[in-house]
Amino acid sequence: MSPSSLGEGGSAALSLRNLVKRYGKVTATDSVSLDVEAGEFVSLLGPSGSGKTTLLMLLAGFETADSGEIRLHGRDISRVPPNKRDIGMVFQRYALFPHMTVAQNVAFPLRMRGVAKAEQERRVKAALDMVELREHLDRVPAQLSGGQQQRVALARAIVFEPGILLMDEPLGALDKKLRKHMQVELTELQHRLKATVIYVTHDQEEALAMSSRVAIINEGRIEQLSTPRDLYDRPASPFVGDFIGDINLFDAKVEEMQSGACAVATPFGRLLGTPVGPAALAPGAAVRVGVRPERLSVDERPTGGVAPAHPATIRHTIFNGNNVAVHMTMADGQELWATVSPNDPEANLPRGATVHVSAAPQDVFVFPAGAA
C-alpha cells in the first residue's frame, strides 16, 4: 500500500501484506505478512487448526481475504479469480479428476489455456517424465497407487509452468517410507525446476528437511519465519521452541539485567540466560525460560564453572541409541529432561542418584511472559 512496500513487493516472487481472514469469531489468518523469493521453498508449519490451509486458500483464490494484499511477481492478485492467478496447487487428497485418464488430468490446465493438441502432448509427456511416471497414461486415477496419484497431481500442477506452486500436506496420505522417498524427490524436482514453493505441513521433520525457510503458524499468525537452523537455535517464542524439537520450559522472574544477558530466579535456584526478543526486561518481570535437553550439562559433582549448577534427582533414563534421555526432578519438584551421550558416566546412573545440572547462558532462552 505504501510506496516502500510496493517496491519491496516488486522484487519478491510472492509478497503478502497484512492478510486477514475471519470466519465468524475465528480469525483464521491474522495479519500475515510474508515475502518469498523466486526459487525459495517455504514451509508453513503449525498445529491443526492454526490456519495453514486457510492461508493457501487465500493465495489460490478459493477464499477472499477480508483485508490485506497478495502480490505475485509484483502483480496484485487479491481480487483476481483463481483461474486467472497462474498458481499451481497440489491438494491434500490430490483432487485428481476421477473420470479422466492420467494424460487427460495432466493436460487439463493446458486444454483450459487453449494450448494446441501436439504441444499439449509434448508438455504432458515432459511433465510426467519429470515426476518419473511414464506408464499408465491411459489409466484413471482409481487404478493408481497413492504414490502414483501423488505424482500425477504434481505433474498437473507444474505442467503449465505456474508462477508459484502451492502444496497442502501433499504427502500426508502416504505411508512413512514412501513419504521419505517423495520428500527427497520433491526437493530435487524443486531445485531442477527452480520453482517457488509454498508447502503446508504439520510434520516438523518434513518442514526442516525440505525447506529453505519455515514459517511457524500459530492461531493464524506467523510466529517466526526463518531457516530451520535458526528456528532451532534461536526460537522467538516458547511456542516455537516447543514446536521445533524438544525444550524444557518453566516460569521464572528476572533478577538482574546485564549487557546481553540476564539472571533469572527459578523455584530451584538462579540461572544465567539470554533475553529473547526486542522488548527490554526489567528486574522483577515474569518470564518463561527454555533450555534444549542436549544443552543441559548433567554432572555427578559440581564442576565449578561460571554457570550456576543445581542439584537434581534422577527419576529414570531412556536409552535411544545415539543418546540417552535423562529425566530429573529439581529441588522444588520441577521436572527437566536432558540428553547425554551414551558414553557419559551419567548415562548409567541409577534412579534416585543426585546430579548437578547447569547450562551455558547463551543456551538459556529467556522469553517475556505473555508470549505464548
Partner 1 sequence: MSERHIRGGLSKTTAALIALPLALLMLVAFVWPLVGFVSTSVLDPAPTLAHYEKLFTSALYMRVLASTVVTAFVVTVAALVLGYPIAILMSRLRGPAAWIVTTCVLVPLWTPVLVRTYAWIIILQRQGIVNDALISLGMIGRPLTMLYTTGAVVVAMTQVLMPFMILPIQSSLRSIPKELPQAAHGLGASHFRVFANVTWPLSLPGVMAGCLMVFIIALGFYITPAILGGPRAQTISTLISQQAFELLNWPFASAISVVLLVLTLGIAAVFRRMLRVEGMSLHA
> In the complex, which residues of this chain contact ligand ATP (CB under 6 A)?
23, 26, 28, 46, 48-54, 202
Q: How far is the CB of 26 from partner 1 (least distance, A)?
A: 17
C-beta closer to ligand ATP: residue 216 or 324: 216
With CB under 5 to 8 Å by kind, the binding choice for 160 among partner 1, Mg ion, ligand ATP, none is: partner 1
Rounded Cα distance, 234 and 319, in Å: 27
Q: Residues 241, 372: contact at Cβ < 8 Å?
A: no
Q: What is the rounded distance in angstroms from the CA atom of residue 222 to the CA atom of residue 206? A: 18
Distance CA 10, CA 74 (A): 4
**Locus of grid cell 543426585:** 354
Calculate the alpha carbon distances from 327 to 121, 192, 312 in Å.
Answer: 61, 45, 10
Question: Shortest distance, CB of residue 238 to partner 1, whole angstroms?
Answer: 35
Which one, 91 or 337, has the nearer CB to Mg ion? 91
61 binds, among ligand ATP, partner 1, Mg ion, none (CB under 5 to 8 A by kind): partner 1
Three-state DSSP class for 339? strand
| Under rule CB under 8 A, residue 97 binds partner 1 | yes
Non-local CB neighbours of 78 within 8 Å, separated by 6+ positions: 64, 65, 68, 69, 70
* Dihedral (CA of 29, 30, 35, 40) sign: negative
DSSP output for 74-126: TEE-TTS-GGGS-EEEE-TT----TTS-HHHHHHHHHHHTT--HHHHHHHHHH
Task: Say if CB 357 and CB 312 are below 8 A apart.
Answer: yes
Q: Which of 11, 143, 320, 348 binds partner 1 (CB under 8 A)?
A: 143
Q: For residues 130 and 151, is the Cβ–Cβ distance under 8 A?
A: no
- The residue within the footprint of partner 1, chosen from 98, 278, 304, 352 (CB under 8 A), is 98
C-alpha cell belonging to residue 326: 535423562
Contact track, Mg ion, 44-83, x by CB under 5 A = ---------x------------------------------
51 binds partner 1 (CB under 8 A): no
Query: Strands across the sheet with 67-72, in order?
Result: 26-36, 14-23, 67-72, 75-76
When the beta carbons of 23 and 319 are compared against ligand ATP, the nearer one is 23
User: Identity (one letter) of the amino acid at 240?
Assistant: V
Binding residues among 74-93 for partner 1 as defined by CB under 8 A? 81-83, 85, 87-89, 91, 93
Q: How far is the CB of 103 from partner 1 (least distance, A)?
A: 14
Q: Are 281 and 287 in contact (CB under 8 A)?
A: yes
Binding status of residue 140 toward partner 1 by CB under 8 A: yes
Longest CA–CA separation in the chain, Å:
78
**Residue 132 beta carbon to Mg ion: minimum distance, rounded to whole angstroms:** 27
Q: Tell me how far, at minimum, the Cβ of 215 lies from partner 1, in Å.
A: 22
Q: Which stretch binds partner 1 (CB under 8 A): 26-34, 137-145, 260-268, 271-279?
A: 137-145
Residues of this chain, 112-141, that bind Mg ion according to CB under 5 A? none
| Smallest separation (angstroms) from ligand ATP to the CB of 127 | 27
Q: How far is the CB of 160 from partner 1 (least distance, A)?
A: 7
240 interacts with, out of ligand ATP, Mg ion, partner 1, none, CB within 5 to 8 A per kind:
none
Cβ contact 273:281 at 8 Å: no
250 binds, among Mg ion, ligand ATP, partner 1, none (CB under 5 to 8 A by kind): none
Residue 271 interacts with which of ligand ATP, Mg ion, partner 1, none, CB < 5 to 8 Å by class: none
To the nearest 10°, the Cα dihedral for 17, 21, 22, 27?
-60
Name the residue nearer to Mg ion (CB basis): 44 or 336.
44
Kindly state the smallest distance separating residue 53's Cβ from Mg ion, in Å.
Answer: 3
| Site residues (vs partner 1, CB under 8 A) | 60-62, 81-83, 85, 87-89, 91, 93, 95, 97-99, 108-109, 112-113, 140, 142-143, 156-157, 160
